[in-house]
Structure 1
Amino acid sequence: MNKLKYIAVLAFLGTVGISELGAQIKEEQLILNRKREPEVKKIEKKKTSVVQEKNYPPDNKKKEDSLNLKYDIVNVPPVSDFKTTEIQGEDISPKFSNDYQSNYFRLGYGNYGKFMADANISGKIQDNVEIGADAHYLSTSGLKKDYDWDSKQNEAKIGVFSNIYTETGKFNIDANYAFNNYNYYGIYALTPTNNGVDLQQKVNKFSVNGYYDHYSNDILNNLRVKSYFLSDHFGAKENYANAELNLSKHDFSVYDDVTANGDLGINLETVNSKFDILNKNTNNQFNFTLSPKVTFYKGDSYLLIGSDFSFLNSKNSSNVTDESKNNKFYWFPKAEVLVAAADEFKFYGGIDGGLKLNTYGNLLEENPFLISDLTLTPTETKYHFYFGLKGDVDQTFKYDVNAGFSKVNNAQFFVSNPLLFYLPTPNPLGVDLNLGRNGYDYANTFSSIYDNGTLMEVKGDLQVFPMENLTVDAGLHFMKYKLDNLEEVYYKPLFQFNLGAKYTMLEKKLNLGFKAYFVTDRTSNSYSVVTTFPAFNMQENVNEKVGGYADINLSAEYKIHKNFSIFALGNNLLGAKYQNYLGYKVLGAQVVGGVKITF
C-alpha cells in the first residue's frame, strides 16, 4: 500500500489488485481455443498450472460453454483494502501470455510496511497426472498515523493440488489452509482510555475441494464437492459441505434442425455454525435441491424450461431464546429464451430464483469485521425476471446489457453493532463495567440483518479489442432496493462503475494495465453517547452516510529475461483514505515493487 509521492513514478504502470497471486485450482474448467469472451464474470480462481489439455473439450462441451456463458459484474472489494484477495477471484497483476510458465516465485515490498510473497510449483509425475503447491502471503503495518491502536494485518494461504486426466474425464483436487490475522481497529464512537486495548481477531480456514468433469455428457456431466472448516479467535466454529451432481443427456434430435439437452442437477448443502460469545448463537442449515431442465436449440437460439425444487431444514438457538426449527419446501421457476438475430445482436430474457445459505465464512469474505455471534438465515430469491441484449461485433467489441426485477425474502445486509454489549444476566446498569472491555465492544463490529423486499437492477459490461496488444473493459451496476421494514438499505451502493485496460509493448516484454473503481455513497447506522449525569445513553442514527470513492490502480511488469522480471504496483493512487465500512479507513496511496522468477 503506497503514498502519493510515488504516483509520478507509477504513471506508466498497469492495474493490479494483489489478489491471491498465483496459479490455484478450483472448480473452473479450462476451455481452450475458444473465441475471446468478455472478462466480465470473474472466475473464482486463477488458471490451473495446466496450460493445454489435449483433445479437450469435446464439441458438445464447447457448445454448452458458449451457450451458457453469462456476463455478470462481481461486486469487488476495493483494491486498497488490507486483504490479499482485493479483487475477488481474479489476479489482475501483469502476466505474459507467451511462454507461459506456471512455476514461479515472487517477492514485493512497499510503503505501509506492505510485504508480499507468492509462489507456485507444479510438475507431472505421470503423463496424465500433475501435482503442485501454491502459497501466498501478505502483511501490512496498517495506519499507524491515523489510529492509536493496531490496524496491522497479515494473512496467508497455502495449498496443494492435483490434476488427473483420463480418457473419459478430468479430475481436480485441492486442499488448502488459510489464516487472516487482523484487528477491529474501526473505533469511532468512544475512544478507549487504554490505547493498548486488545482488538485482535484471527480466522483460520481449512478447505478441501474436488471436481470431476465427464467429457461426453452422456448421463454423467460433472460432479463437484466443496468443504471447509472455519474457526476464529473467539471460539466460533463452522463446518460447511456442498456436493453437486449434474446428470445430462445432450444433443438428441427433436425435429429437423432442432436439438435438445436434458439436465438434472442434484445439490446437497449443509452448514453448522456455533458461536461462543455473547448470545452464543447456534445455526444448522441443510438444503436439498433438484434442478431438472430441458433446453431446445436451433442454431444459436435456444429455449430453456426448468424448475428448482428445494427442501430446507434449519435450526437456530441461543442462550437467550428457545430453539426454533423450520422445515419448508420451495419451488422456483426457471426459464430463458435467447433469440440470435446475428452475432452482433442476441436478445434474451427469463425468470429464475433460488435459495442462498448465508454462512459465517462467506460473510467474512465480504466484511471481515463481523461480530463472532451471528444469526444466519438463508436468503430466498422468490423470483427474478430479467431481459437483455448482448453481442459480438467482429471479435473486437463485446457487450452485454440487462435489467432485472426480483422479489427477495430475508435479503442480507450488514448493520453496525451498539457501543456496548449488554450482559445476559441481570445488572443494575445493564452493561458490563466490571470485567473490562472486549476488543469488539466499541461499536466497531457488524452483524447480519435481514429484511424482505424487492430489488431492481441494471447491469452493463463490455470489452473492446481496438488493437492486438490492447484490451479495454468496463462495467456498471445499478441496484435499487425497496424494503418492507428497514428505513434504509445498508452498505448497498446505488451505482458502481469500473474501467480497466491492459497493454503490452516492446515485443511483449513490458505489460501495463489500469483499473479504476467508482462507487457512490452508501448508508449505515451509527451510535453516539448522550450523557445524562450520572449515567449515559446510546443514541442510534439510522441514516449515517459512508462516502463514495474513486480508486485508481496502475501496474507494470518488465521481463528482463525469460526467467526474470521486475514489477511495480500502484494502488489507490488518489490517496483517499475512504471507508469500506463505518470507522474503517483503508490505506492511502500505495506503491509496491518487487521481482519475479520463473522456472
Structure 2
Amino acid sequence: MNKRFQILSLLFLGFSQIAFSQIKDEKLILDRKREPEVKKIEKKKTSIEAEKNYPPQEKSANPPSYEITNVPASSDFKTSVIQGEDISPKFDGEYQNNYFQIGMGNYGKILADGNISTKLESGMEVGGDVHFLSTQGLKKVYDWNSQQNSGNVGLYVNSYGEKGKFSMNADYGLNDYNYYGIYALNPTSSDIDLKQKTNRIKVNGYYDFYSNDILNDVRVKSSFLSDHFGAKENQAEILVNLSKHGVALPKMDEVNFNADLGLNLETVKTDFDVLDKNSSQYVNATLAPKITFFKGKSYLMIGSDFSFLNAKNSSLILAGEEKNSKTYWFPNAELQFAAADEFKFYAGINGGLKLNSYADLLEENPYLVSDQELRATETKYKFYFGLRGDIDQNIKYDFSAGFGKMNDLLFFKANDLFNNNVDYNRPAFDYANTFSAVYDNGTVSEAKASVQYFPLANLALNAELKFEKYNLDNYENIFNKPLVKVSLGGKYAMLDKKLNLGAKAIFATDQTTNSFEVSNVGINPNILVTSENKNDKVGGFADLNLSAEYKVHKNFSIFALGNNVLNTKYQTYKGYKVLGAQILGGVKISF
C-alpha cells in the first residue's frame, strides 16, 4: 500500500493542473473574479433547483453554507459511472443543455448520455434527459455473472413567472445487476441466478417565491420503487416554508431579523415478499420554527424541531402488527462570528429524525437482501464548531469537529446463509453474498476539513477529509464504515478552454466487517455449518481517476476517462471487488 501511495502522490502532483468532472457531487466554481460560491451539481438536469438566489438581491440575506461532500469512489464496481452531467470541467456559468455523447471502453463498458431542452415563447423551459451505462463485469475474476446495467430517463419543466419559479420533473431509473460477491461458498455451476433488478419512478415539484414574505417555497416529492423479488415501496413528502425576512429591529443599527417556520409531512410504506416478509409504514410530521439575527456576516440562529412519528410494523416472526406513536423535540441553534471574510468562527447544535427507506439504503449499498427491517434514525443532539473563510478569493476553507448522540444508528452487516441444506436450489441472495441493515444506539465523533484553491482563473484544486469514530452500545465495531476518507482533486482548462483535464484521487482506511466461513464437516454432511467472524477487515485503498476532453469544433468533442488507473485491487463490501484500471473513450455532439 505504501508503494501505491507514493506512486499516487507523484501522479497527482503531475496532474495538479488538470480537472475531473465525473464524480457525483462535484463542486462548480462560478467565475473566480466574483466571490466563489460552493454549489452542488446534481446528477441530472432533471433535478429540481433549490438554490435561494433568484433574484440575487432578494435572497442574499441567507448565510453561505460550506459542506464537505461525501464522494463515493468513482471506480466502485457499481458506481464507476459517468454521470448525466456534462463530463467536461466547467469554470463559468455557461452550461450546454443540448448534447449527446457516446463512449466505449474495456470491461465491455458502454456509455450513452444526452440532454435536450428548449424554451417556449411563454418563457417556459421543457427538456428531457437520458443516461445509460453497461459493463460486462469481472469475467476473469468470477466464474458467474457480474454484469451490470443502469439507466435513467427523465422529463422536466421550468417556468419563471412574475412572482416565483416553478419546476417539475419525472424520472424513471432502472438498475439491473447481480449479487456477484460470493466468497464463502464455491458454486459448482457458472450459470447460477444472481440477478437483482430495481425500478424507481420519481415525480417532484417545486415552487419558489422570489420574495420571502410569508410563503417562501413549497416542495412536493414522491417515488415508487419495486425490485426483482417483489418488494414495493411508496414515498411521499411535502415541505412548506413560511418566512418573514429582512425585518429591521428598532434601536439596533445594522441588525436584521428573519423568522422562519418549516412544515414537513413525510410518509414511507414498504412491503417485502421474501424471507420474513417485513412490512412497515411510517408517517412523520415535523414543525421547525427558527429565528435568526444578522449583523453583517455574523448571525445567531435559534430554533427547534418538533416531530410526531407514527409507525406500523409487521412480519412473519411478529405475533401481529406493532403500532407505535412518539413525539420528539430536537434543538437547533447556530452562531457565526465573522471577524473578517478570512476568519468566520461558527458553533451550533442540531438534531432530527430521519426515515430510512429501502430506496435510500439501496443508494448506499445495492447488495441488500430484499427483506429489511426499517426504522427511523434519531439524532438526539449533535454539537459542532468550526472555522471557515475566504482568503483573497483564492482559498476557501472549512474546518469543523463535532460530537453527537444517536439512537437506531444504521449500518450494514453481512448475511449468513438463509438455508443450510447442501442440495438446495439457492435464490440469488442465499450465498452469504448480501447485507442487511442493523441498528444500534451510540455516539459519533467526527472531524471534517475542506479546502479549495484557485491559483488561476482556469485552475481549481480541492482537498477533503472526513474522520468518523463510532462508539456503540451493543456492537464492538461499526461495520462497513471507514475511519478516515480523503479526496484530492484538480481541474484545468487550457488552449482557450478547448482542452479540459481533470484528476481525482480518493483514499480510504480499512473498514471492519463481519463475514462467514461455510463447511459441511458437521455430523450431517447434507447440512452446511457456518461460523461468523465479527472482526474481519475490508482493506483500505488509493484510487486515482483522470479525465480529458478536447473540443475539436464548437459542436464536436472527443473525451477519454481513466478510472482506478493504479489498478488497485480493493473491495467496496466483503466479496464485491471493483473493476480494475478502466479506460473509456468517446465523442460528444453539442447542438
Q: Which amino acid aligns with 2:560?
A: A
In structure 2, the residue matched to 1:499 is 488
Q: Which amino acid aligns with 2:531?
A: Q
Q: Which amino acid aligns with 1:532?
A: G
Shift of 1:195: 1.7
Instruction: Name the CA shift for 1:89/1:568 in 2 (closer, same or farther; >3 Å).
Output: closer
- Pairing 1:508-587 to 2, within 5 Å after superposition: 508-530=497-519, 531-535=521-525, 536-587=528-579
Contact kept? 1:20, 1:84, Cα under 8 Å: no
- Pairing 1:40-439 to 2, within 5 Å after superposition: 42-46=40-44, 56-64=54-62, 67=63, 69-83=64-78, 93-95=88-90, 97=92, 100-254=95-249, 255-322=252-319, 323-418=321-416, 420-422=417-419, 431=420, 436-439=425-428
Q: Which amino acid aligns with 2:524?
A: P
Percent identity, aligned pairs only, is 59
Q: Distance in 1 between matches of 2:405 and 2:266?
A: 23
Contact kept? 2:565, 2:581, Cα under 8 Å: yes
Superposed CA offset, 1:381-416 (max 9, x none): 000000000010111011000000000000000000
Contact kept? 1:19, 1:84, Cα under 8 Å: no
2:463 is equivalent to residue 466 of structure 1: no
Instruction: Name the CA shift for 1:170/1:181 in 2 (closer, same or farther; >3 Å).
Output: same
2:586 is equivalent to residue 597 of structure 1: no
Shift of 1:86: 5.0
Instruction: Name the CA shift for 1:303/1:92 in 2 (closer, same or farther; >3 Å).
Output: farther
Instruction: Name the CA shift for 1:475/1:318 in 2 (closer, same or farther; >3 Å).
Output: same
- Residue 532 of structure 1 aligns to a residue whose secondary structure is coil
Relative contact order (C-alpha < 8 Å, sep 6+): which is higher? 1
* 563-572 vs 120-129, which moves further: 120-129
**Is there any run of 5+ residues in structure 1 with no aligned partner, and where?**
22-27, 423-430
- Pairing 1:473-492 to 2, within 5 Å after superposition: 473-492=462-481
Instruction: Name the CA shift for 1:45/1:18 in 2 (closer, same or farther; >3 Å).
Output: closer
Instruction: Name the CA shift for 1:85/1:249 in 2 (closer, same or farther; >3 Å).
Output: farther
Instruction: Name the CA shift for 1:20/1:471 in 2 (closer, same or farther; >3 Å).
Output: closer
- Residue 79 of structure 1 aligns to a residue whose secondary structure is coil
In structure 1, the residue matched to 2:4 is none
Instruction: Name the CA shift for 1:206/1:48 in 2 (closer, same or farther; >3 Å).
Output: closer
Q: Which amino acid aligns with 1:572?
A: N
- Residue 61 of structure 2 aligns to a residue whose secondary structure is helix
Q: Distance in 1 between matches of 2:160 and 2:115?
A: 20
Superposed CA offset, 1:405-453 (max 9, x none): 00000000000000x214xxxxxxxx45665111110000000000000
Contact kept? 2:25, 2:40, Cα under 8 Å: no
Contact kept? 2:30, 2:37, Cα under 8 Å: no
Q: Distance in 2 between matches of 1:493 and 1:299?
A: 39
Contact kept? 1:78, 1:87, Cα under 8 Å: no
Q: Distance in 2 between matches of 1:239 and 1:414?
A: 22
Q: Distance in 1 between matches of 2:117 and 2:157?
A: 9
Q: Which amino acid aligns with 1:59?
A: Q
The counterpart of 2:22, out of the listed 17, 25, 42, is: 17
Superposed CA offset, 1:12-62 (max 9, x none): 7742436599xxxxxx9x9999944364x64444557999x9x93242312
Superposed CA offset, 1:302-325 (max 9, x none): 000000000001111101113222
The counterpart of 1:456, out of the listed 404, 429, 445, is: 445
Q: Distance in 1 between matches of 2:82 and 2:103?
A: 18
Aligned residues: CA RMSD:
2.7
**Is there any run of 5+ residues in structure 2 with no aligned partner, and where?**
1-6
Equivalent residues, number:
571
Superposed CA offset, 1:313-362 (max 9, x none): 11111011132221000000111100000000000000000001110000
Superposed CA offset, 1:555-597 (max 9, x none): 0100111111100000001101310000000000000000000
Q: Which amino acid aligns with 2:493?
A: T
Instruction: Name the CA shift for 1:556/1:364 in 2 (closer, same or farther; >3 Å).
Output: same
Shift of 1:87: 8.5
